[in-house]
């Protein structure tokens, strides 16, 4: 997904979209590829749970 896609989905302004996407990458939720206008974000499917599930 591009930042533009994110802005359309969330109706967020550019500064908020940048802040949100940067935070999600920092948390390991999204993976970032490319640079500048070619930057894309995808879900990190290998993310580890923060807390072990209860048994």
**Degrees (nearest 5) of the Cα angle 9, 15, 19?**
80
Q: Is residue 34 part of a domain?
A: yes
Average pLDDT of the chain is 92
Phi, psi of 30, deg, nearest 5: -115, 150
Write the burial class of residue 38 (CB in 10 Å: 0-12 exposed, 13-18 middle, 19+ buried).
Answer: exposed
State the first-to-last Cα distance of the chain, in angstroms, to the nearest integer. Answer: 35
Range of the domain at 16: 3-43
According to the model, what pLDDT value does residue 6 have? Answer: 98
Q: Is residue 55 part of a domain?
A: no
**Domain count of the fold of the chain:** 1
Q: Is residue 38 part of a domain?
A: yes
Taking the C-alpha atoms of residue 34 and residue 55, their distance in angstroms, rounded to an integer, is 40
According to the model, what pLDDT value does residue 11 have? Answer: 98
Q: Is residue 54 part of a domain?
A: no
17 C-beta neighbours (distance < 10 Å), count? 20
Taking only the tens place, the pLDDT of each residue in 26-50 is 999 999 999 999 999 999 998 666 6
Q: Work out the pLDDT band at 21, boundaries 50, 70, 90.
A: very high
């Amino acid at each position: 997904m591009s930042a533009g896609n994110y802005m359309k989905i969330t109706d967020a302004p550019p500064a908020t979209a940048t802040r949100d996407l940067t935070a999600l990458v920092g948390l390991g939720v999204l993976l970032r590829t490319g640079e500048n206008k070619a930057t894309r974000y995808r879900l990190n499917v290998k993310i580890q749970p923060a807390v072990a599930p209860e048994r």
